[in-house]
Amino acid sequence: MHTPTPRPARLATGEWLDRFLASDPGLTRLRTATQAVISVGLALLAEWIYVQTAHPLTVPAPTPGAETINRAAGVMMLMAGAMVGMISTFIGPMYATARQGIGALLVLPASLFAGIVIGLGLAPYGTIGLIAMVLVLGSTGFLRRFGANGFTIGQGLFMGDFLGMFLGRLTDLSGLGWIAGALAIGAAAAIFSYVTLFLPSRATAVQRLRRSFLRRADVVAATTVDLLDHPGSEALRKQQVNQLIRLNETALMIDAQLAESPRLPVGTTARELHRLVFTAELSLANAARFARAMTRLDVPAEALALARDPFLAIARRDAAGVEKAGERLAEWIHASSIEGDARVVLHRFVTSVSDFARVIHVLKNQRFEHSARPVTEEFLPAVTLAGGWLPGSSKVSATASEEGSHRGLHPSVRLGIQMTVAGVVAILVGAIVSQERFYWAVIAAFVTFMGANNAAEHVRKGVFRVIGTVIGVVLGAVLAHLVGQRPYVAIAVILVTLFVGMYMMRISYAFFTAALTILIAQLYVQLDEYSEQLLGLRLFETVVGAGAAVLTVIFVLPLRTGRVVRVATREVVEALSKLVGPAILRIRDSAYEVPLGAAARDLDASFQALAAATEPKRAMLRVPGSLGGVEQQWWYAANAAHSYARDLLVDSAHLEVIDGSGGDDVGEAGQVLIASMNELRRGLGEHATKRIYTRSASLFEHIATDLDDAGRLTPRQLTLRDLQLIDGSLAVLATAAGLEVRALDTPADPAV
């Protein structure tokens, strides 16, 4: 294999800015972080005015320690308002309509108040208060059964109970009126931020996501050029695969927003924009994948150099340049003597580049409407977003929970039991470390369960919480000494730190944990209770709480990731069969014209869920053993099957049907493949399966050999090749899943 002479890989200006913006589809992280800072900032300002004018929870000046008490009272009022503002940032995006979102932001302070009543009322009673805290903690899991409303109420109850125990050092139930006022002020700030910032930007979601899609396409192009320049780099190969997954993620996010978006490109319907984005993503992903395949084949250096040019044009957003570069490579292929797999890959590469050039010219030149329009078109997306993001492994984890060894156990029941047990352990061990600060352990256990769906995800989140706390302790100590008793500077540090933590949280939860630790350090400085020993104690309590959560999910009703991955893979295979079956019918019957785009998008959504479920095994911080799920071979086989299915979608769109005896042979081969896919799907649902996957690739190969276009790169020959490759990747997957794989001519075992 020859390595081409490297040329400048990236010609687009502002490449680093593009990469930065491409990492945040639809600027969702930026919007969330900005809303959080503004909500908290407004709440702090309003609470400061409240404290300065109403003097809540203060005591008369002659009272011993009045200055310290009154200072603490003011800080706690600010903390109550800030808590409402920060939690509301996570709550609002969970609801589809403005009315639902505002309603939830009113329910949040009410549930916080109820939790404060519990915590404040039981604070003097020691053990009873701790039992109540455990029960409230467990209830946050059980309340998940009621969806977003249950999550909102559970969050409010627990955080309110925690705040109530904290406030017990300053007041009793007689101070509830002042506390209610602080919560109302925080809720008003949160609703104002939600209405003025979040809701207006929701109308432009499709426009922002389309911009992110184009930027992610630029990044895919730049990385592919790098890979063609350095064909032996495994790191670049993995990087390109990950970026293609992100490109597919953005396309699905656009799909999810199309159903309710009041602003679309001028003269374009939701279905039309869906088709354009789908075609662009499919063709670019295929082109990038074929370029990656070239680096493993005996492709001449001249062809690799020509293959770079379309991606350089893509990075420049030059649709005409993309098409011309593809034509130059097509001319080279026609004049060359290259044969075999290399010729097939090059041919498919040129076809994909040509498809992308046609659609990207339209997509990038669209102009969006300036005013909102009524949403009248019925469009059914393949996926529903959760808080502005794809749902990850949440749905497949829920299915795995209900189908696992504890059948009939609703995920919320499992979670409620686990959180209760973890809360008990955190309190018992945390109290041994410190009887005054044990609640840090409880908080650590609580947040370890937030946003994680199975054992491996909980373990990773617990580890990241400890790592983030270590970083936060160091930075918090430095900033505490630099800021000192300067409240305005402290507020600025808190807001900046909060923004960074919220913005980076999707990249790593450690950033958010570090930000919280810095925030807590500033809080205790203002309470005049700060010390390095206090931050060290927080680290120990965090280890206790995270450890309690991790041990609980491992030993108490564990939902192991291996089980979740099998469920996710089963859904991928089921979605794949719904695409392969109609494609086979299309090969035999020209009258069969059922669009396969919807089936392909369903397959993409299932594949994204599988990608999320296998993330703990593939991530930089890997979780070993059964908690981590499966070996890499499993992921590679599923990824390959998904890719070959997308080839099938393109190749079967315009082909000459195979009729007569050849058509009958296609039908028989298709029946074998579909039957094997069904066996694989059933086997994935069984712990120790004895099912058999029967290979069908030889049947499709025999059909291709007997056709009059054998040896040529016609659409039907490529389609038959796709079916062979799909069968091969599924056979690897079946082996990894424990099925026996047989060729058609393999004799049955008489003992079976």
Confidence of residue 67 (pLDDT cuts 50, 70, 90): confident
Dist CA 210 CA 608 (whole Å):
19
Residue 528 within a domain: yes
- 462 and 541 co-located in one domain: yes
Which pLDDT score is estimated for 3? 43
For residue 5, being part of any structural domain is answered with no
Measuring CA to CA, which residue among 554, 551, 496 is closest to residue 522?
496
Residues 280 and 142 in one domain: no
Mean pLDDT (whole number) for 145-167: 93
Output the pLDDT for position 629. Answer: 44
Q: Considering the chain, what percentage of its residues have pLDDT values greater than 90?
A: 64
User: For residue range 570-606, what is the model confidence (pLDDT) as tens digits?
Assistant: 999 999 999 999 999 888 876 666 678 889 999 999 9
Structure confidence at residue 745 (pLDDT): 53
pLDDT surpassing 50 at residue 13: no
Within a domain: residue 136?
Answer: yes
- In sign, the C-alpha dihedral spanning 683, 688, 692, 698 is positive
**How much is the pLDDT for 406?**
58
38 and 166, same domain (yes or no): yes
What is the model's pLDDT at position 377? 65
In this prediction, residue 262 has a pLDDT band, given cuts at 50, 70 and 90, of confident
Does residue 681 share a domain with residue 551? no
Confidence at residue 624, expressed as pLDDT on a 0 to 100 scale: 56
Q: How confident is the model at residue 446 (pLDDT cuts 50, 70, 90)?
A: very high
Of the listed ranges 11-25, 158-172, 597-611, the least confidently predicted one is: 11-25
Query: In the structure encoding, which two tokens stand for residue 27, read together?
Result: 């600027």
- What's 336's domain CATH number? 1.20.58.220
Mean pLDDT to the nearest integer, 468-494: 92
Determine the pLDDT at residue 375.
Answer: 63
Q: What is the pLDDT at residue 12?
A: 44
732/596 same-domain check: yes
Q: Which helix (H) or strand (E) holds 693?
A: strand 692-694
Select from 301, 334, 364 the last residue of a domain.
364
Per-residue DSSP letter, 748: P
pLDDT at residue 560, as a whole number? 87
Domain identity same for 125 and 93: yes
Which one, of 77, 92, 76, 100, lies nearest residue 38 by Cα?
Answer: 92
pLDDT band at residue 655 using 50, 70 and 90 as cut-offs: confident
CB 96 within 8 A of CB 199: no
| 370 falls within a domain | no
> For every residue of 463-497, which 3-state class applies, written as one string?
HHHHHHHHHHHHHHHHHHHHHCCCHHHHHHHHHHH
Q: Residue 9 pLDDT more than 70? A: no
Cα–Cα dist 249/390, whole Å: 7
576 and 661 assigned to the same domain? yes
For residue 741, give the H/E element and its range: strand 740-742
Domain boundary at 156, 184, 203, which? 203
Alpha helices in 614-659 (DSSP H): 615-618, 632-651
Tell me how many domains the chain contains.
Answer: 4
Two tokens at 740?
A: 């026996």
The reply to whether 341 and 485 lie within a common domain is no
CA angle 540, 544, 547 (to 5 degrees): 130
The model carries a pTM of 0.90
* Residue % of the chain over a pLDDT of 70: 92
Residue 402 located in a structural domain: no
Residues with Cβ within 8 Å of residue 435, at least 6 apart in sequence: none
Q: Give the span between the Cα atoms of 351 and 689, in whole angstroms.
A: 41
Average pLDDT estimate for 541-553? 95
pLDDT in tens, 291-321: 999 999 989 999 999 999 999 999 888 999 9
Q: For position 726, what pLDDT does the model report?
A: 96
660/640 same-domain check: yes
Residues 131 and 197 in one domain: yes
Alpha carbons 538 and 436: distance in angstroms, whole number: 11
CA 230 from centroid of its chain's CA atoms: 30
In contact, 526 and 71? CB cutoff 8 Å? yes
Inform me whether the pLDDT recorded for 626 exceeds 60: no
Q: Domain check: are 512 and 582 in the same one?
A: no
CB 446 within 8 Å of CB 419: yes
* Residue 106 domain flag: yes
Is residue 394 assigned to a domain? no
Q: Which of 150, 172, 203 is the last residue of a domain?
A: 203
Residue 244: burial class (beta carbons within 10 Å; 0-12, 13-18, 19+): buried
Residue 238's CB is within 10 A of a number of other CB atoms, namely 11
Is 580 among the domain residues?
yes
pLDDT at 2: 41
pLDDT at 11: 41
At 350-386, the pLDDT tens digits run: 999 999 999 998 888 888 877 766 666 678 888 888 8
Is 564's pLDDT higher than 60?
yes
Write down the mean pLDDT value for the chain.
89
pLDDT at 619: 64
Q: Where in the sequence is the domain holding 421, given as residue range(s)?
A: 411-558
Encode pLDDT of 630-644 as tens digits. Answer: 456 888 899 999 999
Please state, in angstroms and rounded to a whole number, the distance separating the CA atoms of residues 218 and 220: 5
Please write the tens of the pLDDT for every residue from 95-130.
988 899 999 999 999 999 999 999 999 988 888 989
Please, which pLDDT band fits residue 4 given cuts at 50, 70 and 90?
very low
Half-sphere exposure of 403 (CA within 13 A, CB side): 18
Instruction: Give tens-digit pLDDT for 386-400.
Output: 888 999 999 999 999
One domain for residues 553 and 418: yes
Q: What is the CA radius of gyration of the chain?
A: 29
Rounded to the nearest 5°, which phi and psi values hold at 330?
Answer: -60, -40
